[in-house]
Amino acid sequence: MATIYRKVYPVPMPEGAEIINRRGQRLARWIDGNGNVKIAPLAADGKKIMHKAGCWYARYTDADGAACRASTGCHDEQAARKVLADLLAEVDKIRSGILTPQESQATRHAARSIAEHVADYLAFLKVKIIRGRRLSESHRYNVDKQLNRLINECGFKRIGDVTRQTVTKWLSDETDRSDKAPRTVLKYRMTLMAFCKWALREGRIVSNPLVALPGVAVDEDRRKRRPLAIDEIVAVLEVARMRPLRDALLIRRGARKGQEIAHVSHTERNRLAQLGRERALIYKTLIYTGLRKNELASLTLADVHLDCERPFLALAARNAKSGKGASIPLRADLVQELREHLEEKLTRRRGEMFKNGRTEMPLALPGGMTLFNVPQGLVRIFDRDLVAAGLAHEVVDPQTGKKRIDKTDADGRTLDVHCLRHTFATLLSKAGVVPRMAQELMRHSDIRLTMNVYTHLQLVDTASAVELLPRIGLMQREADHNVAAGA
């Protein structure tokens, strides 16, 4: 039989409560913070009181005959009975076939605010696993920001307010704005589409309102990267090695502006020199391994295997973009530089421990220590290194008046940290590495991505390849023809 009730559960005894007997029942009496006298029955152990919840709950049988309990959300008994009556009416509609169970569930969800659904979606993303890894906190932050902006600007109050027409207009308006890149608008579209697909799977809506939602035209060539040439690699590595110390020595104002004569202590000079050596080695390792910046930053000393027959770096699946672990082979000269880098780290660690009064010096570095201290701002640091190497220059944005770094060449191709991975792929191709092997080293699932996106060959490369073709005896035939003509 359907009924309403309020939950009763034990809670700690209020401070200052006294035990009284009333009509054979033991009760606790106390004065609350508002000065009101409160009375409640004792729990079975006599050390707690039985608290009655303020909200009413409904107990009823659903259309399948299963016992159900649900909160009415009401503190008033009469209002709670009205909610129970609505629930029973819905059960009757399902039994009679007027409503399907899915429509009934969606109807209940439709009454909730869309903000509640977004909160549930973010909680789902927090535990979602993709390729063996949980979604990053930054991704969830971006999803939260994008959904809330869409909800506010489109005026969505309930999940049923989301319509294809409203979203289409918003996407169109955003695309027409001069300060919005199409890819940015596309991210908002993808985020809302994913939210609606999740809501459909969870039974919160009976159909996806964004089916046939128009796409966003994106220029696929908006960012065309290019690899570094050999001389450019040398220039960037040299700048990376020297710039930390040079920047500290540089006089930036006054009569001696531009001169590298600032006072820097011997200790600071050593630290900056070491910082430069590590930065140059970071770039070199990215070029010779094809690792992504975050993948390199995740490597610990336990992942570095330099003393085996074929030295390699072990990239864990949880740290790889593809979600698959890999063994990254290392060149002999890079192995030697990595050994020197680790010896320098060990020497520096011993010096720090000695300075702190430790007498026992470690024989080796801990396996959990990272191979490199890859800075969070490596992208901006690389940009500055490009400027110092003469591969980029600062310009003033005419719209904002702010300085920015122009890294594009005459063909509209650009340079950034990820170009070091493009450089790796291009060097493999120039060295004659077969495409299938290059795909394996790049850790791509599709060989077309390796050859069409990451491999960049210029006319000088293709011309050299043509010169490798065997000579065809055309000149001999011409000589025979001349002999015949003379005869």
For the cut 80, the answer to whether the pLDDT of residue 361 exceeds it is no
Can you give the pLDDT at residue 465? 64
| Angle at which helices 419-430 and 435-442 cross, to 10° | 150
Read off the pLDDT band of 240 (50, 70, 90): very high
Name the range with the highest mean pLDDT among 11-20, 61-70, 233-242, 430-439. 233-242
pLDDT of residue 407: 87
The pLDDT of 315-339, averaged and rounded, is 91
Instruction: Quickly state the pLDDT bin for 167 (edges 50, 70, 90).
Output: very high
Tell me the range of 8-17, 109-118, 243-252 where mean pLDDT is highest.
243-252
In this predicted structure, which of 109-113, 175-179, 230-234, 255-259 has the lowest mean pLDDT?
175-179
Range 139-178 burial, b when 16+ CB lie within 10 A, else e: ebeebbebbeebbeeeebeebbebeeebbeebbeebbeee
Span 171-200, average pLDDT:
87
pLDDT at 353: 79
The pLDDT of residue 40: 87
| pLDDT at res. 313 | 95
- Distance separating alpha carbons of residues 276 and 238, to the nearest angstrom: 9
Per-residue pLDDT band at 22 (split at 50, 70, 90): confident
pLDDT top residue among 98 and 331? 331
Nearest Cα neighbor of 42 from 34, 50, 54 is: 50
185 has a pLDDT exceeding 80: yes
pLDDT for the residue numbered 484: 60
Kindly indicate the confidence band of residue 193, based on its pLDDT and cuts at 50, 70 and 90.
very high
Cα of 434 vs its chain's centroid, Å: 32
* pLDDT at residue 460, rounded to an integer: 58
Of the pLDDT bands very low, low, confident and very high (cuts 50, 70, 90), residue 461 is low
Least confident of 1-10, 278-287, 436-445: 1-10
Q: pLDDT per residue over 104-146, tens digit each? A: 666 777 778 999 999 999 999 999 888 777 888 889 999 999 9
Residue scoring higher pLDDT (166 or 482) = 166
The pLDDT value given to residue 222: 56
Least confident range from 169-178, 303-312, 316-325, 478-487: namely 478-487
Tell me which residue of 126, 117, 108 sits closest to 72, measured CA to CA.
Answer: 108
| pLDDT value at residue 221 | 47
CA distance 71 to 58: 6
pLDDT at 481 over 60: no
Query: Would you tell me the crossing angle of helices 114-127 and 137-154 to the nearest 10 degrees?
Result: 160
d(CA 462, CA 386): 27
Q: What is the pLDDT of residues 32-45, one digit of tens each?
A: 888 888 888 888 88
Between CA 149 and CA 275 the distance in angstroms is: 41
